[in-house]
């Protein structure tokens, strides 16, 4: 069995910022953090999640974005240091979230610091967004990374893939399907059409149309800060779309306690058995505990914990 740990939206602590760094959209995000979000995302909760991931020793880690908050240069540098404690680029794959692309930045001072975690197999560290879709093969699993992050106006947390990225991803997924690999799509925004107009993936309809045509085995996302499951009908049946709670969610906060998903993938005669085990921070913050399970293809699906 191949095990994949999926976490998202760690929202690492916000550093103090200079006034000159807070021009435009960053100002509202900065003040919202110190007024509200600082209590919702706690570093001690994230530390408990990371410790449990390390104890579980997954074969790979998938991180679906929002490491930072308002895309300050210091945030990217701090996140780079944090990533090094979580795992090396060979063990950890990242796709950006909307907060990682909160405003336009110089690549070398922002996402470029994580370039090795986003690059495909055999490729140098990513130097711009054209690297997406990315492909990493790990055993029987093909991790296909999509970038839905793009700078948006104030008060909008929407994402966009664009026609070129969707078309390239479709070709990639089709080829991987012929190879018989378990295709895991990583994206920050849920690829659904039911989201708020202020938070949605703007081209979700086009992405769903592509997935219905070429298929994949599972889609992993973050963004909503909750563990949830939906489905997209593919060429061979329903494809699970699984979101995960913020990995730094404070116990007792509106997002519920921090969680990550430990996903077991194994081949069966008729396809793939994918078991999603939810691991949640204990109420007292001392480690994690099981908090539900959902199995696809190999058993009757159960509801994810709220």
Is a pLDDT exceeding 70 seen at residue 133? yes
* Residue of 285 and 186 predicted with greater confidence: 186
Q: What is the mean pLDDT of the chain?
A: 94
**C-alpha radius of gyration, the chain, whole number:** 18
Token duo for residue 126: 């990513």
Residue 230 has φ and ψ, to the nearest 5°, of: -140, -175
The rounded distance, in Å, linking the Cα atoms of 9 and 67 is 6
* pLDDT attached to residue 63: 98
Token duo for residue 253: 């906060």
pLDDT exceeding 90 applies to what percent of the chain? 88
Residue with the two structure tokens 């078991």: 275
* pLDDT attached to residue 302: 44
Candidate from 62-71, 100-109, 269-278, 294-303 with smallest mean pLDDT: 294-303
Helices (H), the chain: 25-35, 43-56, 73-86, 115-118, 163-179, 204-214
* pLDDT attached to residue 269: 86
* pLDDT tens, residue by residue, 23-68: 889 999 999 999 999 999 999 999 999 999 999 999 999 999 999 9
The rounded distance, in Å, linking the Cα atoms of 136 and 143 is 5
* pLDDT attached to residue 284: 83
Sheet holding 141-145, edge to edge: 134-138, 141-145, 182-186, 218-221, 237-243, 228-234
Is a pLDDT exceeding 80 seen at residue 69? yes
What's the DSSP call for residue 101? G
What's the DSSP call for residue 84? H
* Residue of 80 and 155 predicted with greater confidence: 80
Q: How many residues does the chain have?
A: 306
* pLDDT attached to residue 306: 36
* Residue of 229 and 300 predicted with greater confidence: 229
* pLDDT attached to residue 201: 97
| pLDDT level of residue 301 (50, 70, 90 thresholds) | very low
């Amino acid at each position: 069995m191949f095990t994949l740990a999926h976490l998202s939206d760690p929202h690492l602590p916000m550093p103090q910022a200079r006034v000159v760094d807070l021009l435009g959209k960053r100002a509202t995000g900065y003040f919202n953090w110190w007024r509200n979000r600082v209590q919702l995302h706690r570093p001690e909760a994230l530390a408990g999640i990371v410790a449990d991931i390390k104890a579980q020793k997954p074969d790979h880690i998938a991180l679906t974005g929002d490491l930072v908050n308002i895309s300050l240069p210091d945030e990217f540098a701090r996140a780079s240091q944090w990533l090094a404690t979580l795992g090396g680029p060979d063990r950890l794959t990242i796709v950006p979230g909307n907060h990682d692309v909160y405003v336009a930045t110089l690549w070398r001072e922002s996402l470029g610091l994580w370039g090795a975690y986003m690059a495909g197999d055999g490729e140098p560290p990513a130097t711009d967004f054209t690297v997406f879709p990315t492909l990493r093969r790990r055993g029987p699993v093909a991790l296909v990374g999509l970038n839905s992050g793009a700078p948006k106006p104030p008060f909008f947390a929407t994402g966009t893939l664009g026609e070129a990225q969707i078309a390239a991803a479709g070709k990639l997924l089709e080829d991987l399907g012929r190879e018989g690999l378990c295709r895991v799509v990583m994206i920050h925004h849920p690829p659904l059409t039911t989201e708020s107009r202020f938070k949605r993936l703007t081209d979700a309809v086009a992405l769903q149309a592509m997935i219905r045509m070429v298929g994949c085995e599972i889609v992993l996302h973050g963004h909503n800060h909750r563990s949830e499951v939906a489905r997209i009908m593919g060429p061979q049946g329903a494809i699970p779309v699984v979101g995960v709670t913020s990995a730094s969610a404070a116990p007792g906060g509106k997002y519920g306690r921090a969680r990550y998903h430990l996903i077991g993938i194994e081949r069966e005669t008729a396809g793939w058995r994918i078991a999603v085990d939810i691991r949640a921070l204990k109420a007292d913050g001392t480690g994690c505990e099981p908090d539900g399970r959902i199995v696809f293809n190999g058993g009757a699906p159960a509801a994810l914990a709220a």
